[in-house]
Amino acid sequence: MPQHLQLLSGDPLRERLVAQGTEVFRYRRNAPVFTFLTVLATACGFAAGWVYTASELRTYLGIGAFSVLLATAVTVAVLVIYWTWFVNVHFLAVTTEELLIGRSYSAWSLSWRALNLQKMGFYDMDGHPARGVLRVKLDGKAVRLHLFNPFAYVDNLERFMLQVLTRLRDHGVGPPPRE
């Protein structure tokens, strides 16, 4: 049985990414959200420092306020760091024969011939307005394909979706049945 889902790295991945007809899509940070979160983390960090200096942690109120502010600052900072890392290392690529879902130096290669709307996860996608994630299921494995969320989104999402739906159509997947 042929493998329709392969993990690529090194030269095979590089060759596919630079091949003629390959379109690579990167992720972008949601700048207003990141600005707000950075200001929030910084403000909580400074406030935690002020509470520490003012109360010297002698009271339960001082300890509680310091702990909450510091935990908030660290949590928000970790969130900003994670999604910055995500945007910098993840990518999607569409070729005539496959969809590539990658990170840094490796990518899952999914053959268009084996995909359809259900395997792409369009039918199982949750209807959350602030998050779009497809769980692509192929050869007994599931690969997450992030489209958008409050922190990051596929740059030129409309073009990416057009490419995906066009490739599915070109490989024999028709429109979904009408209800």
User: 3-state SS of 75-98?
Assistant: HHHHHHHHHHHHHHHEEEEECCCE
Nearest one of 118, 120, 113, 117 to 92, comparing CA atoms? 120
Which of 3-7, 44-48, 151-155, 170-174 comes out lowest in average pLDDT?
A: 170-174
pLDDT per position as a tens digit, 8-36: 999 999 998 998 889 999 999 999 999 99
What mean pLDDT do residues 63-68 have? 95
pLDDT per position as a tens digit, 97-150: 999 999 989 999 999 998 988 889 888 887 778 889 999 998 888 999 999 999
Pairing of strands 23-29, 106-111: unpaired
The DSSP annotation for 20-48 comes to TT-EEEEEEE-HHHHHHHHHHHHHHHHHH
Considering the entire predicted model, what is its pTM?
0.84
The pLDDT of residue 1 is 44
pLDDT per position as a tens digit, 75-104: 999 999 999 999 999 999 999 899 999 998
